[in-house]
Amino acid sequence: MGKSLRREEAGAAVGNGSSGLVEGTMRGSFPSRNTVTDQTRIRNFSIIAHIDHGKSTLADRLMEKTGAVSERDMREQLLDSMDLERERGITIKAQTVRLDYTASDGEGYVINLIDTPGHVDFSYEVSRSLAACEGALLLTDAVQGVQAQTLANAYLAIDAGLEVIPAINKIDLPAANPDRAAAEIVNILGGSANDIVRMSAKTGAGIDEVLETVVRDVPPPQGDPDAPLRALVFDSYFDAYRGVVCYVRVVDGHLGSGDSLRFMATKEVHDADEIGFLTPKFIPVGTLGPGEVGYLITGVKEIDRIKVGDTITEARTPATEALSGYAEPKPMVFSGLFPTDGDDFEKLREALEKLRLNDASLAWEPETSKALGFGFRCGFLGLLHMEIVRERLEREYDLDLVATAPSVAYQVTMPDGSVTEIKSPQDLPESIDRQGVAEPYVKAMILTPSEYVGPIMELATKRRGIVGNMNYLSPERVELDFEIPLAEIVFDFFDLLKSKTKGYASLDYEPADYREADLVKVDILLNGQPVDAFSAIVHRNGADHYGKKMTGRLRGLIPRQLFDVPIQAAIGGRIISRETVRAKRKDVTAKCYGGDISRKKKLLQRQKEGKKRMKMVGSVEVPQEAFVAALKVDDDS
Amino acid sequence: MTPTEADAYSTSAAAYVHVPFCSSVCPYCDFAVVAGRDDLVDRYIDAVCTEIMTSESWRPLEAIYFGGGTPSHIDPLLLGGVLDALSLKHGISADAEVSLEANPEDFDATRATALRSLGFNRVSFGAQSFDAGVLVALGRRHQAGQIESSVRAARDAGFENVSLDLIYGTPGETTNSWSDTLSRAIDLDPDHISCYALTVEPGTPLGRAVRDGAEAPDPDIQADRYENADKVLNAAGHTRYEVSNWSRPEHECRYNLNVWAQGQYEAYGNGSHGYRDGVRFRNIRRVDAYVRAVESGKTQRSGNDVIESWDAEIDRLFVGLRRVVGVAPGPGVTAFLTSDSGRRLLDAGVVNMVGGRLTINRPLLTDEVHRCVIDLEAPECTPTQIQ
Ligand SMILES: Nc1nc2c(ncn2[C@@H]2O[C@H](COP(=O)(O)OP(=O)(O)OP(=O)(O)O)[C@@H](O)[C@H]2O)c(=O)[nH]1
Ligand code: SF4
Ligand SMILES: [Mg+2]
């Protein structure tokens, strides 16, 4: 009953406030306390899993089952609303939705679910989501069984003190082996294989059981309704009309529409212009009580003024202690982005600023390259993130970009003992001008069928990995833990791993520490001129191999020009390898008489369009792809 | 041929007549041709004559070119009828060059005599190669011996101007077989030789075969062959005057010199292109559609491009640079020399300034120069200088 009342208020709020924003004068016009849901009737949980194990599809079924979305509005992976998410079929940003469910005990429950991304680049989204929940539904694909992110996300949930509810998905598939998957899960979480829900997000089998298990096993929130307000901002995004929209989880007390709020970390005070919950439509309400999840709009337009992880309290009767927030996601890889047309520099800056409104993990600083001109050194969470950002910049902002080979951040100890961080190989001082260099290491975990342990060990060792534990999840599946330089795995390691294991192994990693290493900068010279954008930092033992691979690769990528183009790799002036792109000898149409002139001109014009994807580096035309593609050198290791 | 003589062709009047019929279609050919439609020949020639008679009359033609297809494939009398129509409509100068393309597979003394007496005075044979294997690879139906007999027949009939077309760089051709083809061609003492690199055109059977993995011609090998041809032909008294054309002195193809000097030319028949009074025009490409259009009194044109002043200047460079004499100074040349890519080409020695004229020094890189030319921009302050 309480809920239906709130729906009516929602209508009133929309009707009164123009553009859906509730003005300050509306304050007090809602009965505030008597409408919030009792905490015993609230269940908050995240769906977590390895990539593609069916989280978003399960969310679809749950929304359908509980009537959150009408059949007419339903479409696959409804919560994946960004174009890129739909095209790639993956979740990039976590999404929240509130469901009303009448359980078999006859009681009505409010269920807040958060669908999370499975890709390792976006695992910080999982951590944030977990902080707003009491439970986590851990999905495992019945065909693939436990994979690296299944394990990694399960540990995240356990460490966050959440109740983890396992479920096995895709039992409809002919190759499904739910018993094996169940046994693997029991090895991680304990419990009994018989208690694990088996379901299909595709056919809908077992969905009722999922809902019942969530109601039964996810602990209800236990906030203090009488304490001062404490609510966690667990996500935010920028909306062109409404400004910054925060997703909040009320922990203690009540968050009322119109309240004057203090953001404890930023120390800013803003009014709650509108609050409400997502069904997934925005439904404004008067109050959010303890344990509830919803959104908050304050009228703030600048995304940087709201910090995700911040605690909101009431300005007049503030709480004394903030909730434990979370660390900002740290960029792991860095790449230079340069407009092909130098005039687009400002346009690129504006586009980056706009993207950042919805992607706080994106960081950049201006970078100047002798070869590529003015651009930005951008930090990304990983290669997928980098690819997505670049694609969005080019597509949504109509930019034509050259991306340089990604690198990691190094810590350089200078002669005076001070330490500076460099994010670009070209910033590495010559070896006589530094005391040392340290590189980032990660803790990596590979889950693999046991027959591939040998090849994987070999691969990891070749990449300077130090193999640690080996755990058998089942007789056939092994977890391998090791420490390895980030630079060695971030680019092509995953592809190699997949190809060495017929696609069966999966990888997860998290930052560990920095360690000193004997690193050198390998420069690439085109036509005798060093091209800063091609420089890379590599381990001394691998430098020769790298130089050879790189020059060979570039020889294949750089088209023949009007003159011979020597390509050299060098360490501090010493040439370690050399290749030559021979001058083009023939580029001519054999016949050109009266008939062909218009057609011929069109053909040449088309060839020219192709050439626009080239960047002049000195007097050499280099295809834009070369700057990144050249780095994927290790096809034989 | 001096530059002045070459440029003088810009004021001549010429005409092209397309004859699309062939006995079969060669796998590399992407011209507007048909095979097995000889039933259409009479109607086609009627249509061409109608097109001529309904075109705007001009001044006496100084060069006429029957290309194809294979003009020699059809009854010479039909070609004579077309010449009559041209003569009636525009007149033909007493010393006009009247060329036709001929296929050695069906050329003999009777045909040669008939053609010569109808007024043709230049014949260009699609010889392609003297290597039997290469001829098969090219899908040609004639043998090397037929080239020799055809040239003899033409000479005997009184053709004082004979040309041979050769193709180099066919997969399977060797350095020796190409040298041999060149020397056997030279032995026939032609007045003119064209050497074309085998080109893989998309949409042809060869194009599809290469796309599906068949061996493609190697551009470096083709460059070798070209350089070899230039050396051998020069030694035999044939001087190159255009990218793919060599001749004895005074035996350049006048019809083509007209095109490259940006002269005007009428064009008749399916798929033909002409240039008159500042308009480039083209005809419907399909033979049957062309015939039907003319018969029903509808337009046979499939496109008109009005060439505005700056475009005409670009075109002057575009076509003129294919000639060894290059192009005379003008706003286009100035724009070229002041453009980034133009300067790069000059620095790399691909183009040259010779006696004030812009010339291409490395003919095998002509397209590289052309890509620069098509994008040149008119100098802003001097629009009136451009004719
Ligand atoms: N046969 C079958 N296919 C399923 C099932 N659940 C999901 N899928 C398919 O698996 C693929 C991935 O599903 P998603 O729901 O996008 O997976 P996800 O876990 O959200 O993926 P990320 O968000 O990228 O980590 C899609 O093609 C789904 O249609 C199932 O129960 N049975
Ligand atoms: S003979 Fe000439 S025009 Fe006819 S198909 Fe062969 S190449 Fe083409
Ligand atoms: Mg998803």
Lookup: tokens for A50? 């390895």
- For the domain bounded by B3-260, which CATH number is listed? 3.20.20.70
- Answer whether B40's CB lies under 8 Å from B46's CB: no
- The structure tokens 């120390």 sit at A267
> Per-residue pLDDT tens for B240-278?
999 999 999 999 999 999 999 999 999 999 999 999 999
Query: pLDDT at position A630, please?
Result: 63
Q: Which residue of A has its CA nearest to B166?
A: A590
Q: Does A608 touch chain B (CB under 8 A)?
A: yes
Interface-testing mutation among B17, B99, B218, B368, with chain A (most A C-beta atoms within 10 A):
B368
Ligand with smallest separation from the Cα of A202: 1
A466 lies in the same domain as A365: no
Cβ partners under 8 Å of residue B338, min gap 6? none
Pocket test for ligand 1, best of A46, A52, A87 (most atoms within 8 A of CB): A52
List A residues 536-565 in contact with B (Cβ-Cβ < 8 A).
562-563
Give the CATH number, domain containing residue A342.
Answer: 3.30.70.870
A173 lies in the same domain as A96: yes
Give the CATH number, domain containing residue A564.
Answer: 3.30.70.2570
A605: which chain B residues are within 8 Å (Cβ-Cβ)? 374
Could you tell me how many CB contacts below 8 A there are between chain A and chain B?
90
Closest chain A C-alpha to B105 CA, distance in angstroms: 23
| In A245-360, alpha helices (H) | 345-356
Please tell me whether residue B339 adopts helix, strand or coil conformation. Answer: coil
B364: which chain A residues are within 8 Å (Cβ-Cβ)? 585-588
A606: which chain B residues are within 8 Å (Cβ-Cβ)? none
A112 lies in the same domain as A205: yes
- Answer whether A402's CB lies under 8 Å from A340's CB: yes
Query: pLDDT at position A33, please?
Result: 32
Interface-testing mutation among A592, A596, A607, A611, with chain B (most B C-beta atoms within 10 A):
A592
A124 lies in the same domain as A168: yes
Rounded to whole angstroms, the Cα distance separating A14 from A11 reads: 5
Q: What is the 3-state secondary structure (H, E, C) of B152-211?
A: HHHHHCCCCEEEEEEEECCCCCCHHHHHHHHHHHHHCCCCEEEEEECCCCCCCHHHHHHH
- Answer whether A49's CB lies under 8 Å from A153's CB: yes
Rounded to whole angstroms, the Cα distance separating A49 from A118 reads: 6
Query: pLDDT at position B35, please?
Result: 95
Verify whether the Cβ–Cβ distance A586 to B368 is below 8 Å: no
Helix (H) or strand (E) holding B301: strand B301-306
Verify whether the Cβ–Cβ distance A594 to B267 is below 8 Å: yes
Nearest-5° angle of CA B98, CA B104, CA B106? 95
Ligand with smallest separation from the Cα of B140: 2
A208 lies in the same domain as A247: no
Tell me the mean pLDDT per 10 residues along chain A, length 637. Answer: 34 32 32 65 97 95 87 80 82 91 92 94 91 96 95 94 97 96 92 94 96 96 95 90 93 94 94 92 92 94 87 94 85 92 92 84 90 92 91 90 90 95 91 92 95 94 92 90 94 88 92 94 93 90 91 92 95 94 92 79 84 79 79 52
A69 lies in the same domain as A211: yes
Domain extents for chain B?
Answer: 3-260, 309-386
Lookup: tokens for A478? 């092994």
Q: Which of A489, A516, A543 marks a domain boundary?
A: A516
Helix (H) or strand (E) holding A568: strand A565-571
Number of domains into which chain A is organized:
5
B282: which chain A residues are within 8 Å (Cβ-Cβ)? 595, 598
For residue A77 and ligand 1, the question of a CB distance below 6 A is answered with yes
For residue A339 and ligand 1, the question of a CB distance below 6 A is answered with no
A63 is a domain residue: yes
Q: Does B348 touch chain A (CB under 8 A)?
A: yes
Q: Which residues sit opposite B199 in a β-bridge?
A: none
A502 lies in the same domain as A530: no
Per-residue pLDDT band for B378 (boundaries 50, 70, 90) equals confident
- The structure tokens 């020009």 sit at A561
Nearest to B273 among A585, A590, A594 (CB): A594
Q: Does B276 touch chain A (CB under 8 A)?
A: no
Give the CATH number, domain containing residue A17.
Answer: 2.40.30.10
Q: Which residue of A has its CA nearest to B217?
A: A586
Give the CATH number, domain containing residue A492.
Answer: 3.30.70.240
User: How buried is residue A192: exposed, middle or buried, by Cβ count under 10 Å (0-12/13-18/19+)?
Assistant: exposed
- pLDDT > 70 fraction of chain B, expressed in percent and rounded: 98
A554 lies in the same domain as A566: yes
Cα–chain center distance at A165: 24
Nearest to B273 among A584, A591, A595 (CB): A595
A289 lies in the same domain as A369: no
Query: pLDDT at position B381, please?
Result: 57
- Answer whether A583's CB lies under 8 Å from A564's CB: yes
Query: pLDDT at position A351, please?
Result: 93
Number of continuous H segments (helices) and E segments (strands) in chain A: 15, 33
**Of B99, B120, B103, B131, which is closest to residue B29 (Cα–Cα)?**
B103
- Answer whether A313's CB lies under 8 Å from A229's CB: yes
Pocket test for ligand 2, best of B22, B24, B128 (most atoms within 8 A of CB): B22
Q: Which of A192, A217, A242 marks a domain boundary?
A: A217
Average pLDDT, chain B: 95
Closest chain B C-alpha to A625 CA, distance in angstroms: 22
Contacts made by residues B233-241, CB under 8 angstroms, sequence distance 24+: B233/B182, B233/B186, B233/B193, B233/B195, B236/B186, B238/B186, B238/B192, B238/B193, B240/B324, B240/B363, B241/B1, B241/B6, B241/B323, B241/B324, B241/B325
- Answer whether A551's CB lies under 8 Å from A580's CB: no
Rounded to whole angstroms, the Cα distance separating B13 from B264 reads: 6
> Per-residue pLDDT tens for A577-608?
999 999 999 999 888 887 668 888 888 888 88
B19: which chain A residues are within 8 Å (Cβ-Cβ)? none
For B84, how many CA atoms within 13 A lie in the half-sphere containing its CB? 12
- Answer whether A164's CB lies under 8 Å from A157's CB: yes
Q: Which residues sit opposite A314 in a β-bridge?
A: A261
Q: What is the ipTM of this complex?
A: 0.89
Q: State the residue range of the domain holding A585.
A: 519-629
Tell which wins on pLDDT, B50 or A600. B50
Query: pLDDT at position A598, please?
Result: 80
Interface-testing mutation among A593, A603, A608, with chain B (most B C-beta atoms within 10 A):
A593
Please tell me whether residue B78 adopts helix, strand or coil conformation. Answer: helix
Cβ count near B310 (within 10 Å): 17
Q: Which residue of B has its CA nearest to A594?
A: B259
A343 lies in the same domain as A393: yes
Residue B87 has pLDDT above 60, yes or no: yes
DSSP classification of residue A611 = H
**Rounded (10°) CA dihedral A441, A447, A449, A455:** -10
Q: Which of A516, A550, A578 marks a domain boundary?
A: A516
Residue B338 has pLDDT above 90, yes or no: yes
Verify whether the Cβ–Cβ distance A586 to B243 is below 8 Å: no
**Of B44, B47, B49, which is closest to residue B33 (Cα–Cα)?**
B44
For B284, how many CA atoms within 13 A lie in the half-sphere containing its CB? 16
Rounded to whole angstroms, the Cα distance separating A603 from A584 reads: 19
Please tell me the residue having the least CA distance from ligand 1 atom 12.
A52
- Answer whether A233's CB lies under 8 Å from A250's CB: no
**Of A583, A586, A607, A581, which is closest to residue B198 (Cα–Cα)?**
A586
A47 is a domain residue: yes
Q: Does B197 touch chain A (CB under 8 A)?
A: yes
A193 lies in the same domain as A75: yes
Verify whether the Cβ–Cβ distance B374 to A601 is below 8 Å: yes
